[in-house]
A and B are shown apart, each in its own frame.
Chain A
Amino acid sequence: MSFLIGESMTGGYGGADILNGCTIAVERGEIAVIVGPNGAGKSTAMKALFGMLSLREGAVKLDGHDITKLSPQDRVAQGMGFVPQTHNVFTSMSVEENLEMGAFLRTDDFKGTMEQVYALFPILKQKRKQPAGQLSGGQRQQVAVGRALMTQPKVLMLDEPTAGVSPIVMDELFDRIIEIARTGIAILMVEQNARQALNIADKGYVLVQGGNRFTDTGEALMANPEVRRTFLGGK
């Protein structure tokens, strides 16, 4: 039984189904990556796991409990963190306030968690009084990830965290994500940079037309000639 699992999820935004019985699972301390061509339903699958669209069929389970009917807010309270692809920081608020808002649901002292986030992303500590809207793309992503970490989630979901950042920043972000996974958090991400993402993935899901095409370890997927040829654009 996986820690977070979306079983044979079917559904869409009303109208035609985008997900056709796809299954995504992730374990604690592991990194799972969803890759696939444009329009395969990668982000939709992630949103379905987070409760941002209602499923027609299938179920989502967190730590053995069925959470299919919970709203995204309730799932945050249950220990899920979500970093949207765009508009993922409060641009007019300072870095520190962004983190505080991330911890909004917490009633205990969250200073320690904030220090952990600053330790993970030292640049944020330097810029903690600056409005997040004034930061570079990579720094903003760090704020976005930091905000989601403030609830001390057990699962962290990232929707294309490296979209629009430079290769160097991307490598650094991936390093940080590995570090986060090592603390025992389950990480699920959707990525456009399939090669680099699969490189760090414990598990990879290749989605095509809302269904699972290949599911294997990141390494095995990278080695699979068919996956390489059709999805990774190489030999």
Chain B
Amino acid sequence: MQDFLNGFMLLSNFLIVPATAYGSQLAMGALGVTLVYGILRFSNFAHGDTMAFGTMVVILVTALFQKMGLSIEPLPTALLAIPFGIAATTVMVLLSDRLVYRHQRKVRAAPVVFLISSIGLMFVLNGLVRFIIGTGDQRFGDGERFIIRFGEFKELTGLDEGIAFKTSQGLTIVTAIIVVAALFWFLERTRAGKSMRAYSDNEDLALLSGISPERVVMITWIISAALATIAGTLYGLDKGFKPFTYFQLLLPIFAAAIVGGLGNPLGAIAGGFVIAFSEVTVTYAYKKLLTYWLPESWAPEGLVQLLSTDYKFAVSFVILVLVLLFRPTGIFAGKSV
């Protein structure tokens, strides 16, 4: 029994807790991608760098607040800065819509033209963020670092293994729940939200009903900017901010959105967790767990790690390829890509 519990704690500490936090971050990122796809009908490659842009603003504002001595101990100051990040990102995103996408909508460009434009925008943002904040690692989390400390947990339970539950992880999960609930409330209950769903469902009929496409598009960009900033900041608090990492996040985020079914918000959330858990379970080294759970004589000699963490992106790729091959509309039957 003791061994089983020890093993379970080990699993929670290294697999379940981090994967849940990572899954929440991916889910919020994928929600932004999926909403833009549902309304504007293109895959927004600039989303990863929109996250980086939002997080950058949050980091700068956080630094300012820290200098001013503003703090919300034990929570990280960055939370206070998030609204400013969202505002700046919204302005940036609406500006890019004005400069780039609105013209494409006017000439009724093919989705692939939108997609290529978004790649262009991705590079511009990429450069802009690196130019302003640099390419290096940024740690901007302050306040209490842990909700549950490893040592305290061990003492409390008397087990050999403990769980460390970081504030950033707890915050991520709680924020994700609040954000997702708010988003679904907005989509299901408000007039603007319903008009977004109507527009995504049947563009022509939405026009006939008097729903203004420009307004729907604007609301979509604002939501996607907010989601990107929140997801980016939480990811940054959890794992540190580095522009290149955010660019790389694009792959798991897209995989999550596609696995769940592009255009389907519920699918984006499920997809986020599928990708996160697959990535973590495949790259986790099971040696210690197996020594707890298996008879002593069966204890493995190797690390029992299926894939080195360096290759974690391969997991997203493989899942993406499998889904596109066998179920192109994703788990929740979104739009086929």
Chain A positions within 8 Å of B, measured between CB atoms, are: 72-73, 76-77, 82, 84, 87-93, 97, 100-102, 104-105, 147, 151
Contacts and interface: CB of A to CB of B under 8 A. Distances in A.
A87 B197 contact: no
Interface centre among A88, A89, A104, A147 (most CB of B within 10 A): A104
B61 interface: no
B207 A101 contact: no
Given A84-B205, A88-B205, A90-B205, A77 B198 contact: no
Nearest to A87: B202
Given A76-B210, A77-B210, A93 B197 contact: yes
B201 interface: yes
A49 to B, nearest CB: 14
Interface in B194-221: 194-195, 197-198, 201-202, 204-211
Given A76-B210, A84-B208, 19 more contacts: A73-B207, A76-B208, A76-B209, A84-B205, A87-B202, A90-B198, A90-B201, A90-B202, A91-B202, A92-B197, A92-B201, A93-B194, A93-B198, A93-B201, A97-B197, A100-B191, A102-B209, A104-B211, A151-B210
Given A73-B210, A104-B210, A89 B194 contact: no
Given A88-B205, A89-B205, A90-B202, A105 B210 contact: yes
Q: In the complex, which of the residues A90, A93, A100 has the most CB atoms of chain B within 10 Å of its own CB atom?
A: A90
Contacts, number: 57
A87 B211 contact: no
Contacts of B198: 90, 93, 97, 101, 104
B93 to A, nearest CB: 25
Give 4 closest A-B pairs by Cβ, nearest first. Answer: A105-B210, A90-B201, A101-B198, A92-B201
A230 to B, nearest CB: 34
27 contacts: A72-B207, A72-B208, A76-B210, A77-B210, A82-B208, A84-B204, A89-B205, A90-B198, A90-B201, A90-B205, A90-B206, A91-B201, A91-B202, A92-B197, A92-B201, A93-B194, A93-B197, A97-B194, A97-B197, A101-B194, A101-B206, A101-B209, A104-B191, A104-B195, A105-B210, A147-B205, A151-B210
